Amino acid sequence: MSIKFEWTQEMSVGNEVIDGQHQRLLAQINKILGEIVGGDLHSEVDDALHFLDGYIRDHFSYEEEYMTKINYPHLEEHKVKHHEFIKKYYEFKEEYSKGASKDRLISDIESYIGEWWVNHIGKEDKKYELFLEQEMKTIK
């Protein structure tokens, strides 16, 4: 049984573009997990992986540019976390292409993405929202 990741307002970083990107990421992850569970390991999963290839490039680039614009002081640390995610994503993609065990792949993806969702999007990304809020208070 696969878990389903859900968007909550607490995940918002106060930027509509980034929030929308995070929501699309969530939908694609759920799609991949649903298709793997359903046994369709090719058509829909391939489409979702194609989406994720572009998403990773576009979202991380946009988010890093945004953090640069707001002078976020922990940008370099955040970039390292993005690079770690990219590395792990390509490891999952390679395992999938080599025919990894469906149960193991689902378990690994759920575990990693669950941790990423809670710790990165839910905590690390929230830090730049809090930073910007504090900066706005300082300006007033």
Residues 6+ apart with CB under 8 A from 126: 13
Amino acid at 26: L
N-terminal to C-terminal alpha carbon distance within the chain: 51
Kindly report, residue by residue over 21-60, the tens digit of the pLDDT.
999 888 887 877 777 666 655 666 677 778 888 888 899 9
pLDDT of residue 44: 66
- Token pair, residue 79, equals 């970039």
Question: pLDDT value at position 140?
Answer: 64
All residue ranges of the chain with pLDDT < 50 are 1
Domains of the chain (ranges; CATH) run 14-139 (1.20.120.50)
The dihedral over CA atoms of 29, 32, 35, 40, expressed in degrees to the nearest 10, equals 180
